[in-house]
Amino acid sequence: MKVETSLFTVHKRYALRISRGTRAQSENLWLRLSHDGVEGWGEASSFSTGGKRQEAAQLKRQIEAITPKLSHCSPWDHQQIEQLMRSEQLPSGARTAIDLALHDWMGKKLGVPLWKLWGLDCDRIPPVSVTIGISSPEAAQERLRAWQETVAVEVIKIKLGSPEGIVADQAMFSAVEDVAPPEARIYVDANGGWNLADAIAMIGWLRERGVEYVEQPLAEGEEELMGELKARGTLPIFADESCWSLTDIPKLADKVNGINIKLMKCGGLTEARRMVETAKACGLQVMFGCYSDSVLLNSAGAQLAPLADYLDLDSHLNLKDDPFAGAQLEDCRLVPRDLPGLGVVRRDSAVE
């Protein structure tokens, strides 16, 4: 099989600030795998989390380094290719781009969407949340209004853990609450920006305001303390930065109530499917999340969306120049298309 990669830049309509920093644009990688007259597509986005960073340009070089070995494989050889990627110590982002392209190729070769191949029920897809980054109270209100102009907002994810402290967090949260639709559900993601005392205070404060759960209240590495927060039972606790792949899940089972699975962290749909089942076997809920992903990556996530309890695949909705078209919003649900593979096409050739 032939593998080609190229880089593209996507720009955000609204720069997203979280506890660790701000992103206004992202360089992403587009991977095309061709074999037997069929082309499968994958994507990797640049991201930084929990002190780890993966850049698309570096992932491109790492993929190019194993392309000669991949050329001897068939896209049906998922197990062999996964083994090769692990033995070559490819980072998760590079594995994701290849794994997505293998799945897209398979679906296209068989002429079926992946969700259909896996027998999933798209009526079970939960509503997608829209993210409001750390900002002034006024800017947070403006951001919510802008979301409401493009999306029927059912679920709001508010980023807290401000470097200015929990008084700033509370002011921003209250500002959003003031203008949010009364029926809107709210989650909070602190991106590890609190210490234990702040987390205890904030989780109690957020519970009084009807928040459903809190994601990554403490930094990666502080999982034992997250277990203390879980034991208090104030609000469900989800792990994001603390949960990268399958082997993290059993260790987290008694410390959190759920995990945020991201394709870029885990290495693609193969690992994500294993993680969903393992999390459920451990009694954990499952959310799917994203970074600065285009609709290509989020359409891959949407293939598994019927298995999620919560869906946070909104990054492409904040892009000015997404080169792709794929999964579409229907009543706030990100529904994959009834097209083979990932159901993604170039936007310039898309028939909306």
Which ranges in 32-158 belong to alpha helices (H)?
A: 56-70, 78-87, 92-110, 114-117, 137-150
Closest residue to Mg ion, judged by C-beta, is 240
What's the min distance (Å) between Cβ of 291 and Mg ion? 10
**Region binding Mg ion by CB under 5 A among candidate stretches 43-51, 134-142, 239-247, 248-256:** 239-247
Dist. CA 197–CA 200, nearest whole Å: 5
Helix (H) or strand (E) holding 226: helix 223-232
Scanning 30-38, 51-59, 236-244, 333-341 for contacts with Mg ion by CB under 5 A, the matching segment is 236-244
For the CB of residue 96, give the shortest distance to Mg ion in the complex, in Å. Answer: 17
Query: Minimum Å distance from CB 244 to Mg ion?
Result: 12
C-beta of 287 vs 344, nearer to Mg ion: 287
Cβ at position 312, least distance to Mg ion in Å = 7
- Write 203-207 long-range contacts (CB < 8 A, 24+): 203/229, 203/232, 203/234, 203/235, 204/234, 205/170, 206/173, 206/235, 207/234, 207/235
User: 158 in helix, strand or coil?
Assistant: strand
Provide the 10 A C-beta neighbour count for residue 296: 29
Counting Cα atoms < 13 Å in the Cβ hemisphere of 121 gives: 2
Q: Residue 41 or 187: which CB sits closer to Mg ion?
A: 187
Q: Total binding residues for Mg ion by CB under 5 A?
A: 3
Minimal CA–CA distance to 304: which of 94, 131, 125, 95? 125
Nearer to Mg ion, 41 or 310 (CB): 310
When the beta carbons of 99 and 220 are compared against Mg ion, the nearer one is: 220
Question: Could you say which of 240, 248, 314, 322 contacts Mg ion (CB under 5 A)?
Answer: 240
Minimum distance, C-beta of residue 238 to Mg ion, in the bound complex (Å) = 8
Number of other CB atoms surrounding residue 75 within 10 Å: 24
Question: Which residues, listed in sequence order, are joined to residue 42 by a DSSP beta bridge?
Answer: 31
- Segment near Mg ion (CB under 5 A); pick from 176-184, 210-218, 300-308, 324-332: 210-218
Tell me whether residue 287 or residue 342 sits nearer to Mg ion (CB atom): 287
Q: Shortest approach of Mg ion to residue 191 CB, angstroms?
A: 6
Nearer to Mg ion, 114 or 172 (CB): 172
Residue in 265, 255, 272, 266 with CA at minimum distance from that of residue 291: 265
Nearer to Mg ion, 16 or 90 (CB): 16
For the chain, count helices (H), then strands (E).
12, 17
The residues in 160-189 that bind Mg ion, with binding defined as CB under 5 A, are 189
Q: How far is the CB of 217 from Mg ion (least distance, A)?
A: 11
**Residue 317 half-sphere exposure toward CB, CA atoms < 13 A:** 24
Residues forming contacts to Mg ion in the complex (CB under 5 A) are 189, 215, 240
